[in-house]
Amino acid sequence: MSEQTRTRRPAHGMGGRGAGEKPKDFRRAIRKMLGTIASYRVGLIFVMVFAVGSTVFNILGPRILSQATDELFSGLVLKVQGLGGIDFGKVGRILLFLLGMYALSAVFSFIQGWIMSGVSQKVSYEFRRQLSEKISRMPMNYFESRTNGEVLSRITNDVDTLGQSLNQSITTLITSVTTMIGVLIMMLSISPLMTLIALVILPVSMILIMFVMKHSQRFFRDQQAYLGHVNGQVEEVYGGLNVVKAFNREEKVLEDFNRDNQMLYQSAWKSQFFSGMMQPIMQFVGNLGYVGVAVSGSVLAISGAITVGSIQAFIQYVRNFTQPINQIAQVTNMLQSMAAAAERVFEFLEEEEEEQKTAHHAMIAEQTVDEKGELIRRERPVTVDDLKGQVIFDHVRFGYTPDKVIINDFCARVEPGQTVAIVGPTGAGKTTMVKLLMRFYDVNAGRILLDGYDVRDFDRSELREAFGMVLQDTWLFKGTIMENIRYGRQDATDEEVIEAAKAAHAHHFIQTLPGGYQMELNEEASNVSQGQKQLLTIARAILADNKVLILDEATSSVDTRTEQRIQKAMNNLMRGRTSFVIAHRLSTIRDADLILVMRGGDIVEQGTHEELLAKNGFYAQLYNAQFEEATA
């Protein structure tokens, strides 16, 4: 398809539901996520090795520091007793060794962070690539039944949440578990009794954390949901701001925004409050542990069962033991968020795709002569180059849903090179016929034949190469005029682009623009007029040189003089092509070879302009009504 429909591309803001909600099936989402990142197992193994190494060196730090403390304490006692002094050389060597360990820990932490960032971004990149490719394979009814914000949210909110959560959760989980195990071993090596006293606080902290998580998860879910609503509403209002102002709906829009914003505020402060309670709760529980350790350590030190340095190291380990518990709780929230985001991404990737390949391809018979000079008959798939442009609608029946049929029994025959106009009131099914012709949808009954071949026997992408479209809503992207016209055929030379622009009557106005064909169009293409944009899209269709052309209300949004220029350009475009013209201005289709008059999903009249006026039927009523309005 050589033309697209939208002057304004969808905004890149976030819309739809948020990614922080609770997944429907946590285990399945995590299992599929693990399957996705399995291809990066080598990098993850290195992350694990360096993360564990960094954590182990950190864990050993307090135990080595305790040796320096013991050396200082024993030297101080000897000095007080007058029997000796502090061996600062030995203390210095211990501290220097400790500094080296901490430096090595920092290097390991840096390396694992660098590797993990690369892995998480590669995963995000891969998901964005898959989502982008998936969009092009999705059927039209998927996008027509969902908002732009909901689809964009998968690529923005969900992939970003997934990448950030993956980056933080894996390393945090590894270091937290390693820290808990390592600290427990070190505590047991110092004093099993004090370890038992310190572990008493563990069930208390777990109960408190589970209580907070249970109440905070709902608010986090609501926060993300209302964040999506607010973002989607802002994007929608911003895109249609002129309509909002024209109908004086500012107060209503503000009222709706304030309602959703208030709900976002309520859920956000509650979720942040519960999340913020984690740290003070853990500090309180940790302080209880310090009291127990201080009392028991004092008793053991007096009895000579433990040294002062060991008590100092043990207190550090108690602090380090409670911190991973808090981190694991936060990782649990991140995993919930990641699982929900992954679930929504996988849900989109698993959506039913538009069938591209057909069970049997349209074939064409050819007669060739072999090496012996004998005549042989072969069949090969039909290509776009083989098509002439004949189109037959054979008792077509269609409905977007089975219970609502909008095309009842559509029959028409269009010969190659003919210009066919489809007219009728709004909702008659004109645009639907175009969607069926290009296989955006397939017919429920009947057939549509292209050069005698059922369109369902063509691959969709190959079939659409035979069609060019010029629509009322033009679509131009940010780039030069030359690039926008060349979008119709990427291998076209500059000379071919200029010739297409001349045929579209666009060459003259392009030359008057600053930069000419190299002028940069902005993102909204607002630096050229509506009529000029339409001429550029016609030039693009001319350059594409498709067999069948579809013009859907291509002149309805411009003034009469510009319409005349566009009409001349379209006449050049339609020359030698089978053309379908959908128009409400009946004055623009008087020269059509065939006019199909639709009403209620059926063709009620067909013929030339003069023949239909002579019948004095429904077409004559439509035409005379427009003529009366024009002269009123």
Same domain assignment for residues 551 and 408? yes
Within a 10 A sphere around the Cβ of 612, how many other Cβ atoms? 21
Same domain assignment for residues 73 and 137? yes
Q: What is the pLDDT of residue 12?
A: 37
CA distance 159 to 151: 12
Contact indicator for 239, 9 with CB cutoff of 8 Å: no
578: domain CATH number is 3.40.50.300
Place of tokens 């600053």: 514
Nearest to 120 by CA among 175, 166, 171, 170: 166
H-helix or E-strand spanning residue 57: helix 41-81
Q: What is the pLDDT of residue 18?
A: 41
Nearest to 212 by CA among 328, 329, 325: 329
Same domain assignment for residues 420 and 344? no
Torsion of CA 66, 68, 73, 74, to 10 degrees: 110
Same domain assignment for residues 345 and 401? no
In a domain, 16, yes or no: no
Among 294, 321, 349, residue at a domain's last position: 349
Same domain assignment for residues 542 and 425? yes
For the chain, the maximum distance between any two Cα atoms, rounded to a whole number of angstroms, is: 130
Please list the rounded mean pLDDT of every run of 10 residues in the chain (632 residues). 37 40 70 83 89 88 81 73 74 87 91 89 87 80 70 79 83 86 87 82 73 72 74 77 80 85 83 75 74 80 79 81 76 79 83 64 61 64 76 87 80 86 79 82 88 82 80 79 87 89 86 89 76 84 84 66 70 79 76 84 84 88 70 46
289: domain CATH number is 1.20.1560.10
In a domain, 458, yes or no: yes
Same domain assignment for residues 497 and 616? yes
CA distance 133 to 146: 18
Q: What is the pLDDT of residue 111?
A: 92
Same domain assignment for residues 162 and 38? yes
Within a 10 A sphere around the Cβ of 359, how many other Cβ atoms? 7
Q: What is the DSSP letter of 11?
A: P
CA distance 507 to 498: 7
CA distance to 60, 88, 110, 176, 523, per residue, from 116 (Å): 24, 41, 10, 16, 35
Within a 10 A sphere around the Cβ of 123, how many other Cβ atoms? 21
In a domain, 10, yes or no: no
CA distance 457 to 361: 5
Measured in degrees and rounded to the nearest 5, phi and psi for residue 473 equal -90, 100
In a domain, 372, yes or no: no
Contact indicator for 256, 300 with CB cutoff of 8 Å: no
Q: What residues make up the domain containing 330?
A: 26-349
Same domain assignment for residues 149 and 253? yes
CA distance 326 to 319: 11
CA distance to 147, 407, 435, 439, per residue, from 144 (Å): 8, 19, 13, 15
Nearest to 134 by CA among 353, 293, 311, 381: 353
In a domain, 2, yes or no: no
In a domain, 373, yes or no: no
Same domain assignment for residues 397 and 327? no
Residues 6+ apart with CB under 8 A from 468: 1, 2, 3, 488, 541, 544, 545, 546, 548, 549, 550, 577
Return the SS3 of 84.
Answer: coil
Contact indicator for 228, 157 with CB cutoff of 8 Å: yes
Which residues pair with residue 233 across a beta bridge?
A: none
Among 318, 349, 380, residue at a domain's last position: 349
Quote the number of domains for the chain.
2
Which residues pair with residue 412 across a beta bridge?
A: 393
Same domain assignment for residues 140 and 213? yes
Same domain assignment for residues 470 and 412? yes
Same domain assignment for residues 216 and 122? yes
In a domain, 8, yes or no: no
CA distance 293 to 308: 12
Nearest to 410 by CA among 446, 452, 444: 446
CA distance to 10, 374, 412, 482, 549, per residue, from 64 (Å): 60, 93, 91, 70, 81
Nearest to 622 by CA among 592, 586, 580, 596: 586
CA distance 504 to 536: 8
In a domain, 368, yes or no: no
Among 349, 369, 401, residue at a domain's last position: 349
H-helix or E-strand spanning residue 68: helix 41-81
